[in-house]
Amino acid sequence: MIDYHIHTYHSIDAEGTIKDYCDRAVRLDLDEICITNHCELDPSRDDSWIRFDGKKHPMTRLGLKRLENEIIEAKEVYKKSGLTVKFGLEVGYYDGIESQLEEITHDIDFDFILGSIHCLNHVCIDSSREHALYFSNHTVPGLLGNYFIAIEKLIKSKFFDAIGHIDVYKKYGLEFYGDQIQNPSQEALQKVFKLMSEYDIALEINTAGLRHINEFYPSPTIMKCAREQGLERITIGSDCHKVADLGKGIMEATHYAKSFGFETVYGFDKRKPIEIRI
Ligand SMILES: [Zn+2]
Ligand SMILES: [Zn+2]
């Protein structure tokens, strides 16, 4: 089993060292983990940080290099225990990030880059403190319209191997708007999945939804549409921000993928997809 969405204490909203996660992964008998810390770069926000030795530092290329070295070290150490450790990143995409992202990731050897939409119009829609700022000024069609436009741009940027928690808007949207939030237009979804196949981007099954709202990201409706549109690549991640959540729901996510007809999930090595039978 794999867990392809993990935040160590290097993300300022997470806790646990690389060693803590690796030790736990060995105990859980996971085959492979990919550490995907946050990379938020929006200059109009205050979340562009990376943490080392208990102190937060501005997110820079040098910081990512330092993180790369720590993960390379762990790769070597845990090989002996049969655990494969990969170096990933979760980038909070927004329109206009491209040149900064190019600069900060240049010459760094990532295995996997996950693209997620956390913010719309610079407001974090999956934050308990911020979501109402955006939601109170948007109808459901307005929110979903803008969200899926951002997803299309993320895909077309060609920076990413997978899309994280594709219906994360429901985390607080379900309580704010009700069930209406669960029905993005089929047309918008079909367009997104056609593009994802065309640009070879994987869809993540993210188990954090189980812990927040008792449902995976993506919802069954979205999984069904992805399958019908011929999307092939699936990744699986717990999106853990503490060691106790590592691997949570991964087995269930595998069954969930199978229930829609998927027979493989994907890992990545130096940005190359690797098929894993489930
Ligand atoms: Zn995220
Ligand atoms: Zn995450």
Domain layout of the chain by residue ranges = 2-277
Q: Give me ligand 2 centre to Cα 149, in Å.
A: 21
User: What pLDDT was estimated at residue 140?
Assistant: 98
User: What pLDDT was estimated at residue 132?
Assistant: 98
Q: Give me ligand 1 centre to Cα 90, in Å.
A: 7
Q: Give me ligand 2 centre to Cα 8, in Å.
A: 10
Query: 2-277: which CATH topology?
Result: TIM Barrel (3.20.20)
User: What pLDDT was estimated at residue 48?
Assistant: 97
Q: Give me ligand 1 centre to Cα 235, in Å.
A: 14
Q: Looking at the CA of 35, which ligand is closest?
A: 2
Q: Looking at the CA of 241, which ligand is closest?
A: 2
User: What pLDDT was estimated at residue 80?
Assistant: 97
Q: Give me ligand 2 centre to Cα 237, in Å.
A: 9
Q: What is the 3-state secondary structure (H, E, C) of the chain?
A: CEEEEECCCCCCCCCCCHHHHHHHHHHCCCCEEEEEEEECCCCCCCCCEEEECCEEEECCHHHHHHHHHHHHHHHHHHHCCCCEEEEEEEEECCCCCHHHHHHHHCCCCCCEEEEECCEECCEECCCCCCHHHHHCCCCHHHHHHHHHHHHHHHHHCCCCCEECCCCCCHHHHHHHHCHHHHCCCHHHHHHHHHHHHHCCCEEEEECHHHHHHCCCECCHHHHHHHHHCCCCCEEEECCECCHHHCCCCHHHHHHHHHHCCCCEEEEEECCEEEEEEC
Q: Give me ligand 2 centre to Cα 13, in Å.
A: 10
User: What pLDDT was estimated at residue 55?
Assistant: 97
Q: Give me ligand 1 centre to Cα 12, in Å.
A: 13
Return the percentage of the chain with pLDDT > 70, whole number. 100
Residues of the chain with pLDDT under 50: none
User: What pLDDT was estimated at residue 247?
Assistant: 98
Predicted structure pTM score: 0.98
